[in-house]
Chain A
Amino acid sequence: MDGSTYSRGLEAPKRKPLLDHRQRSRLTAWVLGTLTVLFLLYQWLPIFTLSLLSFSGPTGGTTFPMNGVSLHWYRELWDASIMNDFKPPLGRSFVLALACAVTVCILSVASAQAMRGRFRGHNLFFYLILLGIMAPGLLVGFGFALLCRILGIETAWNTTAYLVHVSWALPFGFLTMLAIFNRFDPKLEEAALTLGANRWTAFRRITLPIVMPGVIGSLLFGFSLSYDEFARSMFTTGADITLPLAVMAQLDRQLTPELYAIGAATTFTSLLAIIGCSFALWGLRRAR
């Protein structure tokens, strides 16, 4: 470490820079902050506009000015004619999303628990499930439609669409569970096992309550991803369509504030679901 002739080169800068390092750091923060806020506005403004326009009067168009304020388009939605009745698709979407949520939840917990077993081929299994995120809905849906056609299977919202929806939401639930299990201390299970619990009891009584946030997360993913799914549904739903398909069909026919009303209503429902789950998580944390 000795005998070096390196000069330190650390004398105070001769020329004073325009801004010192603190000011520059603050400037960066301001620029990035402005950009972030602008983007958030950019992201939210259409959603707000859509919600706002859904309350326009009977003569209201699809853009501003609003021409009065009313619940006209929501009433229209409610007393819809058979052509554009959104209630049956809504019902189907809801049931499908619920079924999907439960299935995704069970499969996610089972798959993540299997991953903890580090069985031969668990890496391959991991990528197989991840494929569900990587493979675009267009390809999965179209491929599945071809498969059904070749096998002569009739597509329907409660059979084929269900199968495909689960494959879409499963990776999200699976990753959530993996993340939770990563932070889980297996010593807790060991403690239960040494106290005389068998594996199933230990899992049910110790493991499951601790990983509950992940379970709720996988339910939420299962529900919302199925509820909003369009591309896969388009190919696999058959004649009785789900809500996003009904919305798209209506958009193809004519854009009316009624569509905004349904958009606002579904967005609101999704937000409620998120808030509900957040509260459930919060309650869980408080209960501990």
Chain B
Amino acid sequence: MERLPQLDLEIRSLRKRYGSFTAVDGVSLEVGKGQFVCLLGPSGCGKTTTLRCVAGLEEPDDGDILIGGREVTRDPPWQRDIAMMFQDFALFPHMTVAKQVGFGLEMLGKPRADIAKRVAEVLAAFEITQLADRKPTSLSGGQRQRVALARAMITEPRILLLDEPIGALDYSLRETVMIELKQLQQRSGISFIWVTHDQNEAFSLGDHVVVMNHARIEQQGAPEDILQRPRTPFVAGFVQGNNSFFGKVAQADGGMLRIEGAAGSFLVPGGGRAIGSAASFSIRAERMGPAGPQHENRLSVRCVTVEYFGSIRRYILERAGGSVLKLDQFGAEPAWLRTGETAEIGWATADCVLHDAEGAAAPELVAA
């Protein structure tokens, strides 16, 4: 079988169990040359275990891992063309920054003079030359992050694995670091696999985002794809700004479904579903608005509270049945609802996103 040479990483139905707990259950993933991939999911979803399997720090029970087309599933970490950045950076406390950054080259058996020269270059590139002789304990969080990154990237691995790499940083620092990392990734052409539970990180950085839950991949694709077209209730709920509705298919014709639930009866584009089968769909908060003639779907709500973020204004709304919805409006526009007021909201059928059949059978058939 011809293997595609441009793939940096290929994971085929990876499985890993710890006793009776399944950490990774049939995960498959392809990473093209120089891609920035984010594994996103709540804690315990298996994203870190997947990453550690790629690094060789965990041995999978089943499945294959190919790095640069070479099968490495059973290879130890030191024989894989990867580098890793750890959550707390895992800097060696007894080594100076220069020693630390040169460690990887030393392990590759490079001549001493070459290492010194290369370390100097890399320290300069990361703007940490003045830290060369310091030990990690005397560094700030941001400085440690740079050292860890320099240490990982100096050997120019095919793939850089990052396990919550900016989670240990101050909030104020993260934005800047993210931009720097993205630029660095694009310049270096090294594939990044970035594990995070923070969707802001995942969607602003990743070329390709993989949403995981309960040891499985729920959905993967470009950020836009996942944000605009969540394929499962989990993704719709996990990703910010979606309102999900659950119900049963009451009518199906002409590429249109009528789904009835506790919240009401709504039209959703889609087909191929049996009448009476459970179905769910979601609609983004910014696609809803005060009910107008262009809206095929309507709902009466009461405003619980209004959150103002500057660029948007978010209304937290309560349906008569008790479930809560979110509705976003441009921040520059005047507010049209105040806390305690009731209103009728609506949305266009074309903006509804029908979820995949499996997983739609939620316990409560109400809007969530």
Direct contact of A and B (CB under 8 A): yes
Contact B80 A10 (CB under 8 A): yes
Q: Which of B155, B158, B184 has the most CB of A within 10 A?
A: B155
CB of B5 closer than 8 Å to a CB of A? no
- The CA of A10 and the CA of B81, in the complex, are separated in Å by 7
- Bound Cα distance A13, B75 (Å): 11
Give the residues in chain B near A6, CB-CB below 8 Å: 105, 108, 110, 118, 155-156
Bound together, the chains give a CA A12 to CA B81 distance in angstroms of 11
- Known interface pairs A9-B108, A9-B109; A2-B187 also in contact (CB < 8 Å): yes
Chain A residue with Cβ nearest B70: A12
Question: At the interface, is chain A mostly helix, strand, loop or mixed?
Answer: loop
Residue B97 at the chain A interface, CB threshold 8 Å = no
> Once bound together, how far apart are the Cα atoms of A194 and B170, in whole Å?
30
Residues of chain A from 5 to 60 with CB closer than 8 A to chain B in the complex: 6, 8-10, 12-13, 21
B188 near A: Cβ within 8 Å? yes
Q: Evaluate whether A1 and B125 lie within 8 angstroms (CB atoms) in the complex, with A6-B108, A6-B110, A6-B155 already known.
A: yes
Give A21's nearest chain B residue, CB to CB: B76
Q: Say if the beta carbon of B79 comes within 8 Å of chain A.
A: yes
Residues of A within 8 A of B125 (CB): 1
Write the chain A residue with the least CB distance to B76: A21
Beyond A6-B108, A6-B110, A6-B156, is A1–B76 a contact (Cβ under 8 Å)?
A: no
In the bound complex, residues from chain B placing their C-beta under 8 Å from that of A8 are 81, 108, 155-158
Compute how far the CA of A10 lies from the CA of B107 in the bound complex, rounded to whole angstroms: 11
> Measured between C-beta atoms, what is the minimum distance from A27 to chain B in Å?
15
Complex CA distance for A9 and B78, rounded to whole angstroms:
11
The answer, among A1, A10, A12, A13, for a CB contact under 8 Å with B188, is: A1
Alpha-carbon distance between A190 and B109 when the two chains are bound, in angstroms: 55
Distance in angstroms from A16 CB to nearest chain B CB is 13
Q: Are A1 and B156 in contact (CB under 8 A)?
A: yes
Partner of A12, one of B79, B109, B156, B184: B79
Chain A residues near B187 (CB, 8 Å)? 1-2
B210 at interface, CB cutoff 8 A: no
Contacts of B75 in A (CB 8 A): 12
Does the CB pair A1–B153 fall under 8 Å? yes
A3 nearest CB across to chain B (Å) = 10
For B105-138 the 0/1 string (1 means CB < 8 A from A) is 1001110000000100010010000000000000
Number of residues of chain B lying within 8 A (CB) of chain A: 22
Interface string of B57-83 (1 = CB under 8 A from A): 000000000000010000110011100
Per DSSP, chain B at the interface is loop
How many A residues have CB within 8 A of the partner chain? 10
In the complex, A6 Cα to B158 Cα: how many Å?
12
Alpha-carbon gap, A155 to B184, bound state (A): 77
- Check if A81 is an interface residue, CB within 8 A of chain B: no
CB distance from B234 to the nearest CB of A (A): 36
A118 to chain B, nearest CB (A): 21
- Asked if B156 and A10 make an inter-chain contact with CB atoms under 8 angstroms apart, the answer reads no
CB-CB under 8 A from A12, the residues of chain B are: 70, 75, 79
Chain A positions within 8 Å of B157 at CB level: 8
Q: CA–CA, A21 to B81, complex, Å?
A: 17
Q: Within the assembled complex, what's the spacing in Å between the Cα atoms of A9 and B111?
A: 14
**Which residues, 241 to 262 on A, are CB-close (under 8 Å) to B?**
none
Q: Which residues of A contact B153 (CB under 8 A)?
A: 1
A4 in the interface, Cβ–Cβ < 8 Å? Answer: yes
Beta-carbon nearest neighbor of B185 in chain A: A1
Q: CA of A227 to CA of B188 in the docked complex: distance in angstroms?
A: 68
Q: How far is the CA of A26 from the CA of B121 in the complex (A)?
A: 41
* Bound complex: CA A140 to CA B274 (Å): 91
Q: In the complex, which residues 177-236 of chain A have their Cβ closer than 8 Å to any Cβ of chain B? A: none
Q: Which residue in chain A gives the minimum CB-CB distance to B189?
A: A2
A-binding residues in B (CB < 8 A):
70, 75-76, 79-81, 105, 108-110, 118, 122, 125, 153, 155-158, 184, 187-189
Q: A1-B187, A10-B81 are in contact. List 6 more A-B contacts (CB 8 A).
A: A1-B153, A1-B188, A6-B110, A8-B157, A10-B79, A12-B75
A-B interface, 9 closest residue pairs, ranked by CB to CB distance from nearest? A1-B188, A21-B76, A10-B81, A9-B108, A8-B81, A4-B156, A1-B153, A10-B79, A1-B125
* A-B residue pairs in contact (CB < 8 Å), sample of 27: A1-B122, A1-B125, A1-B153, A1-B187, A2-B188, A4-B118, A4-B156, A6-B105, A6-B108, A6-B110, A6-B155, A6-B156, A8-B81, A8-B108, A8-B155, A8-B156, A8-B157, A8-B158, A9-B108, A9-B109, A10-B79, A10-B81, A12-B70, A12-B75, A12-B79, A13-B79, A21-B76
